[in-house]
Copies of this chain bind each other. A is one copy, B any other.
Amino acid sequence: MLIFIGLGLWDIKDISLRGLEVAKRAEKVYVEFYTSLFFSSVDEISKILGKEVEVLKRSDLEENCRVILEEAKNKDVAILVPGDPMVATTHTALRVEAKKIGVESKIIHSSSIISAICGITGLQSYKFGKSATVSWTKSRAPVDVIFANRSINAHTLLLLDLHPAMKISDAIEKLQEVDENLSKMYAVGVARVGYDNLVLCNKMEELKKYDFGSPPHCLVVLSPKLHVVECEYLRIFANAPDEIERFV
């Protein structure tokens, strides 16, 4: 059995009681740190679990995944994953490969930026459209998603490249390279969700000047219209300027 266990947003304290219990019982425990930033070391995780934990590289879960799958044929193998497992496509592909060779699998969920972003920004979960990633390589893809979402009055959650970790100012620069008009759009910059949660709402050209501190960062580009509570929340908790009230 292959068991994907979510570690949650920030550090080992974000694992669920169920995740901890199952990891402790597993015969072999791996952890991967490349799909999200995570702030407990493998030693800290080992200590909480009371057993050895081995760090996986990307290749161990992709081209060389057969080693782990063979092991999971006869043992309960747990893979600890930052955030909620399966939000990263690597994990869904691995689960498919496991099933093909007769290895059962299960998922133990945890907190994820995908739902946490609602609480942090006050933006309503039912108003988020498709998300996208801003990567270091120039790409129209996230810009197309922003415009598609705005066409149906939806917000856009933009996750930022992690290799190396991108800041909000870098992301806005990348978006502007594709379409300068984005500079005037309003967005919410968010840093370190699950820890100290710095949140600021302004035009992208203004957010770009601000130092959000250390990563992880993400960015939400607002829908053309805001719900009255969304607006009030952004004014109170994200220091949004007066003029966003005209989007209500």
Which A residues fall within an 8 A CB radius of B?
4, 6, 8-9, 12-18, 20-21, 83-87, 89, 91-93, 95-96, 99-100, 107, 109-112, 114-116, 118-120, 122, 124-133, 145, 148-149, 151-152, 154, 193-194, 229, 232-233, 236-237
Contact = CB atoms under 8 A, between A and B. Distances in A.
A14 B109 contact: yes
Contacts of A86: 118-120, 122
**Within the oligomer, what is the number of copies of this chain?**
2
Contacts of A194: 109
Contact of A125 (B15, B114, B127, B151): B114
Contact of A109 (B93, B119, B124): B119
A16 B128 contact: no
Nearest to A149: B152
Which of A87, A89, A118, A128 has its CB near the most chain B CB atoms (within 10 A)? A118
B126 A92 contact: no
Chain A contact surface mostly: helix
Contact of A99 (B83, B89, B129, B237): B237
Contacts of A129: 129-130, 149, 152, 154
Contact of A96 (B119, B131, B236): B236
A95 B129 CA distance: 24
A13 B8 contact: no
Contact of A107 (B16, B84, B119): B119
Nearest to A107: B119
A236 B116 CA distance: 30
10 contacts: A83-B115, A84-B118, A91-B119, A100-B236, A109-B111, A109-B119, A128-B131, A130-B152, A130-B154, A151-B152
